[in-house]
Structure 1
Amino acid sequence: MSMDSILVSNPRNYNNSTQNIPNDIIIDILTKLPVKSLLRLKGICRSWYSLIKDEKFVKQHHDTHKNRQKYFIISRGHEIFHHYTMDVPQVVDSTRIVSLIEPPIRIDQSLKVYPNIQYFSSNGILFITYSHDIIVMWNPSTRESRRIPSPIYNNRGSMYSFCYFHYIDDYKIFRLRCGDNKEIDIFSTKSNMWKSIGMFPSNYYFLGFNVVMVDGIVYMMARNKENLPSVTILRFCLEKEKFEDELLFPYVVPWTRHVLHSLGEKLCLIRILDDNREFWLYTMEKNSWNKILTIPLALKNGLKPVSFTEDGSMMFQSFDRRGFVAYNSTLHKFEQVNVGGIKGLYFNKVVTYEETLSSLNP
């Protein structure tokens, strides 16, 4: 059934002020509304309820909002941690504020849990691991959540990531078990099951900083046991559930610090040179590295790129309790970004997501 037929199937959904408005205009207006407003509109009549739950409408709404990014934050307080959401801040707009949000399930919010939390986003859905056996997928816009079964073999210190594959309508979770025997497990929301894929390649040492997911590919830094001085990047295709060819670095300097990140839909490589205190940022496009930013670092501030702003600046999470700073590549300087409600908060990690009506349950 088309979206138009849903709207006209019940004539009671029209009143005198809307009966002459074409269906495509009504749909276009509705797709621009935030999720919170649409959830209220679902109760107006059956036809609107059916429309807002329609798969085509859900996709059209997501496509409309996918560039209107929001931040999800877990912040450490004095004795407990909290969850927050906020719109992506802008340098010229200091009206952004953080909003406290209840966690998706009842959990221990004491600080003893805090170091083990990992969280990621895909298709507007958050994936959160509070411990090795408390794993949740959560839509913060609709507040719908889904508890994921405990993995096959529970062990602390595992590294996770996940991705949504729209053409098969399936979320897949990647887990790398850390320890002496590094093994890879995959979870599918369609099958609701974990399965073991096999061992991490035996001819590489995993450099256990992080695993990064971009467009269905998991990237991991490693050293070839036969060529220890050099660092490489291994790629694991989550759709095909197998390793692909190595991804080479854009330069050969073996003992500098490298960190992988995802920035939107781009893979980023950060290189920090201690001697002259420079921050180099590369993005991967069409299997080729592109150096997009060089920032001189006068102070030893911890910085992590989070997103681009609407005016083209790059937003960084600052680990010196300044919250957010933006780098203006035209003026070549950092600018403080004021956000209401973050004073005194310490952010563990900030991930971007977009609003979605997507459901987590079959």
Structure 2
Amino acid sequence: MRNHEYDLCNLPGDLFREILLRLPVKLLLQLKTVCRSWNSFISSHEFVIHHHQRSTQPRLVYCSLESEGLDIMQCSVSSLLYNQLQPTRIEPLHIKYKTIKGSCNGLLCLCEGFPYRTLTLFNPCTRSVSLNVPFEYPGGDYLQPVFCGLGYDALRDKYKFVTGSKSSTVAAGLYRYRAKVCTFDPNPSWKTVDHPMFPYFTSCYSGTFVSGTLNWMAHVPDKDDEWFILTFDLETESFGRLCLPRNNHTHTGSCYYAPSMQVLKNFLSMSFQPACDINTACTIWIMKEYGVEKSWTVLFTIPFGDAIFRSDIWLEPLYILEDEILLAYGKFHWSNLLVYNFRKGEVVHPIVEVEGSRDRSTICPLSTSVYEKFESIFEASYVFDIVDDYDKFNVLYHTMFKEYQKTLLCLKS
């Protein structure tokens, strides 16, 4: 044992970091209890982000009414993509009567009730939760639709929830909006931020977080062809706008459904379904350099050919891994899952099995708000851990030493 201790204590910093990056979240949470230096290293935001990005266990998390009451469900994305002959198990998280209003770095922001009463940060992997924060409607009227989102302010090392809604009408087609930001820390607080008067609506209510910003699709109501991206910088707490890709059938008149926004391969992504193109069911773009409109690049197109790819069926890209892309598809307020191989042009409907049900089906009923998440090690003083009791240190030690040996073999090869 002493030889092992000597080996581990004298590891080069880069090798020690590489070992930790390969470990699952639950083991890392236990290793944080070994000593202060390990706790500090594993808790650092840089390590959290790198571990989050390198996670090999992506999870699909969504709201569902299929169980007894509203619940949040999760399943393995890898199983949907690569284990298609066996049913993918869908498990309820038993977080009743809460809806997902934002996601960032493996965390979900949940709202309870309607009108919304509270906000909560929740980590599906560790099942840790924050204190409930009273929800504040920016316009004062809960009947007004709100756009919202969860993001991370790297400058202040804080997670922030942003929400906005129409507060009053100034003139025909011109509205006054009000926006508020909730900063999650040991004493969560709400702050009203400047929001310009603008004659446009946001078409998606949950913002997409990328490169320190939240992003929403927006358009001018009396000019359907003027779609653009409404942005919010988490550090400066200011709004802005980005243009969509050029020559991409982004006009509403040439799209059957409104453009949709995602994060694919860590890039801001847009997908368009042209109504006037008889050959293309969907075009997916990525912004290779955030904020640089000339960096919009076509990732690939999905052609018509399968019965699923029709003009009246909406498509929502969720996750890309090598040649496979996981998509949600549906009509109006129902949706299912499919896997599309864009190299071979093949479509597969994965089999799913809901926990507690004896039925197996290719149908996975989703809400219109679908989130793809990786596991995250994120913890903070205002997030309380509710995982099981930690194992004894010798179990942790041997597990880490085995990973150390595997890493050495990989480096030698």
Please, what TM-score do these two structures have when normalized by structure 2? 0.70
Which secondary structure does the structure 2 equivalent of 1:239 belong to? coil
Q: In the alignment, which residue of structure 1 is the partner of 2:231?
A: 235
Q: CA deviation at 1:315?
A: 0.8
Q: Determine the structure 2 residue equivalent to 1:93.
A: 83
Counterparts of 2:42 and 2:352, CA distance in 1: 36
Q: CA RMSD, aligned part only?
A: 3.1
Work out the CA distance in 2 between the residues paired with 1:27 and 1:194: 37
Deviations 1:307-352 (A, max 9, x none): 112x331111233778421211111232223344374652213312
- Does the CA-based 8 Å contact 1:326-1:335 persist in structure 2? yes
Q: How many residues align?
A: 332
- CA spacing shift, 1:312–1:49, aligned 2, 3 Å: farther
- The letter for the 2-side match of 1:136 is T
Aligned to 1:6: none
| Segment drifting more, 217-226 vs 328-337 | 217-226
Paired residue secondary structure (1:98)? strand
Q: CA deviation at 1:250?
A: 1.7
Deviations 1:63-101 (A, max 9, x none): 234232222222221651322223323533245433332
1:346 to 2:365 alignment: yes
1:34 pairs with one of 15, 21, 24: 24
Alignment correspondent of 1:334:
347
CA apart distance, 1:37? 3.0
The CA deviation string for residues 29-75 of structure 1, in whole angstroms up to 9 with x for no partner, is 44422122344556xxx6x1545532445543652342322222222
How is 1:244-259 mapped onto 2 (pairs within 5 angstroms)? 244-251=240-247, 253-255=251-253, 256=255, 257-259=257-259
Equivalent residue of 2:284, what SS?
strand
Where does residue 274 of structure 2 map in the other structure? 273
CA distance in 1, matches of 2:222, 2:94: 49
> Which residue, out of 156, 170, 175, partners 2:158?
170
The 5 Å alignment of 1:78-227 reads 79-89=68-78, 90-94=80-84, 96-103=88-95, 107=96, 109=97, 117-131=99-113, 132-146=116-130, 147-151=132-136, 153=138, 155-156=142-143, 157-178=145-166, 180=168, 181-190=176-185, 192-199=188-195, 201-210=196-205, 211-224=207-220
Within-5 A mapping of 1:288-327: 288-297=295-304, 298-299=307-308, 300=310, 301-309=313-321, 311-319=322-330, 323-327=336-340
Conserved 8 A contact 1:119-1:127: yes
User: Partner amino acid for 2:371?
Assistant: V
In structure 2, the CA distance between the partners of 1:258 and 1:38, relative to structure 1 (3 Å rule), is same
Residue 8 of structure 1 is matched in structure 2 by none
2:51 aligned counterpart, secondary structure: helix
Separation in structure 1 between the aligned mates of residue 275 and residue 261 of structure 2, nearest angstrom: 19
Contact 2:48/2:378 (<8 A) preserved: no
1:4 paired residue number: none
Does the Cα contact within 8 Å between 2:231 and 2:239 map onto a contact in 1? yes
The unaligned stretches of length 5 or more in structure 1 are 1-14
Indicate if the aligned counterparts of 2:154 and 2:235 stay in contact, CA closer than 8 A: no
- Alpha carbons 1:212, 1:218 under 8 Å: kept: yes
Q: Secondary structure at the match of 2:270?
A: strand
Deviates more, 1:121-130 or 1:75-84: 75-84
Structure 2 counterpart of 1:60: 47
Equivalent-residue separation in structure 2 for 1:198 and 1:65 (angstroms): 32
The letter of the residue matching 1:148 is: V
> Measured at CA, do residues 118 and 83 of structure 1 come closer, stay the same or move farther in structure 2, by a change above 3 Å?
closer
Indicate how the Cα distance of structure 1 residues 330 and 129 shifts in structure 2: closer, same or farther if over 3 A, else same.
same
* Corresponding position: 1:284 with 2:287: yes
TM-score, normalization: structure 1?
0.78
Does 1:357 find its partner at 2:342?
Answer: no
Letter in 1 for 2:90: V
Is the CA contact (8 Å cut-off) linking 1:161 and 1:212 kept in structure 2?
Answer: yes
Cα distance per residue 1:217-255 (max 9 Å; x no partner): 233333458966433333332221112354244236452
Secondary structure of the residue that 2:348 maps to in structure 1?
A: strand
Secondary structure of 1:184's counterpart equals strand
Q: Find the aligned partners of 1:220 and 1:204 in 2 and give their Cα distance.
A: 15
Q: Which structure shows the higher helix fraction?
A: 2
C-alpha spacing 1:88/1:33, structure 2 compared with 1 (3 Å) = same
